[in-house]
Amino acid sequence: MTNKKLILQIDFRSGLPIYTQIVNQVQAQIASGILKPDHQLPTVRALAEELRVNFNTVARAYRILDEARIISTQQGRGTFITESLPPKVTERLRREALEALTQRYLSEALRLEFSKSEIRQTVNDQLKTWNEANEPKK
Amino acid sequence: MTNKKLILQIDFRSGLPIYTQIVNQVQAQIASGILKPDHQLPTVRALAEELRVNFNTVARAYRILDEARIISTQQGRGTFITESLPPKVTERLRREALEALTQRYLSEALRLEFSKSEIRQTVNDQLKTWNEANEPKK
DNA sequence: GCAACATTGATACATTTAGTACAATTATGA
DNA sequence: TCATAATTGTACTAAATGTATCAATGTTGC
């Protein structure tokens, strides 16, 4: 049973609309396989309470994901991940997720006036550390 | 609960732009501890009405303070004081800030099961784009 | 004087919150 | 079984809030 709890991190200062952040993160977790088909998402009201956000905002995110056929919202029942998407779609979502995540990171770092070489260096250093830490993964 | 009302004194004859006076006084009140982190500031319209100025002028002051990371403006929600930063950012703190930012980025990317080479590739690609986009900065 | 710039104002817009009502489904209990 | 309540998503309106863009006005330097 994959009863994993949905964990989202909303950044209220990012400038990105909250509903967009929810859409992006759910998409990313589905594309990455963290959320699997038939998995039930939190109710709009429960997720709204957890994120300290109005439930209409969550409903808007769910509606967008539903229209994209990524989740299936069912009145009176709940919200579920749809059957596995075509690999091509999954791959696209995965790539978009990484690009969005990276863009947020870089724009923040550059705004704080870190140089591109500093950033590159830090990313490489930390990746190397992670290499040694948990490389043999499956 | 620190529900202190923001009180500003604008001098319309001082020659200083109104938005500058707002910026200075909010900054001063935060520095002196009158306004504390997470405190919600008046809305641009409420403060504008109180000061008898256009709300765009208040919005401009808030935008400047937001860009300086002193406050956090959130569309549809309001404006809040951010955590106070040390007045002088040392080189060590600078480095720690970048490392923390990078760690958050990488742990999220790795949680989504992106490979280290994918991440490196995406970071480098986007850094290159940024190079061309806004490198010649006057 | 005038051109360039800064400041302020006006207007339309996007986002979030709030509230209410409703339909569909599920759970409960007599 | 059946009636009722609770849960869940949907729809809609209204208001609050910050944002973007351009126009009007004021200031400054030549």
Q: How distant is the Cα of A86 from the closest Cα of chain B, in angstroms? A: 19
Among all protein residues, pick the one whose CA is nearest to the C1' atom of D9: A75
- Assess whether B17 (CB) lies less than 7 A from strand C: yes
Q: Coil, strand, or helix at residue A110?
A: helix
- Quickly give A68 CA vs D6 C1' distance in Å: 30
- Assess whether A13 (CB) lies less than 7 A from strand D: no
The answer to whether residue B86 sits within a structural domain is no
Per-residue pLDDT of chain A (138 residues; tens, 9 = 90+): 446 789 999 999 989 999 999 999 999 999 988 999 999 999 999 999 999 999 999 999 999 999 999 999 999 999 999 988 888 888 988 999 999 999 999 988 988 889 999 999 999 999 998 765 554 443
Q: Which residue of A has its CA nearest to B66?
A: A13
What pLDDT, on the 0 to 100 scale, is given for residue B131? 59
Q: Which domain holds residue A94?
A: 1-113
The answer to whether residue B58 sits within a structural domain is yes
CB contact under 8 A, B127 and A109: no
The pLDDT of residue B111 is above 70: yes
CATH number of the domain that residue B27 is part of: 1.10.10.10
What pLDDT, on the 0 to 100 scale, is given for residue B63? 96
User: DSSP label at B25?
Assistant: H
- Residue B64 shares a structural domain with residue B99: no
Q: How distant is the Cα of A33 from the closest Cα of chain B, in angstroms? A: 8
Comparing C-alpha atoms, which of A108, A94, A112 is closest to residue B105? A108
Give the C-alpha separation, A25 to A9, whole Å: 8
The answer to whether residue B12 sits within a structural domain is no
CB B30 within 8 A of CB B81: yes
- Assess whether B75 (CB) lies less than 7 A from strand C: yes
The answer to whether residue A118 sits within a structural domain is no
The answer to whether residue B37 sits within a structural domain is yes
Among all protein residues, pick the one whose CA is nearest to the C1' atom of D15: B76
The answer to whether residue A135 sits within a structural domain is no
The answer to whether residue B6 sits within a structural domain is no
Q: What is the pLDDT of residues B56-94, one digit of tens each?
A: 999 999 999 999 999 999 999 999 999 766 556 677 888
- Residue B66 shares a structural domain with residue B105: no
The pLDDT of residue B7 is above 80: yes
The pLDDT of residue B1 is above 50: no
The answer to whether residue B68 sits within a structural domain is yes
Alpha helices in chain B (DSSP H): 18-31, 44-51, 55-67, 91-111, 116-134
Domain count, chain A: 1
What pLDDT, on the 0 to 100 scale, is given for residue B138? 29
Q: What is the pLDDT of residues A91-106, one digit of tens each?
A: 988 999 999 999 999 9
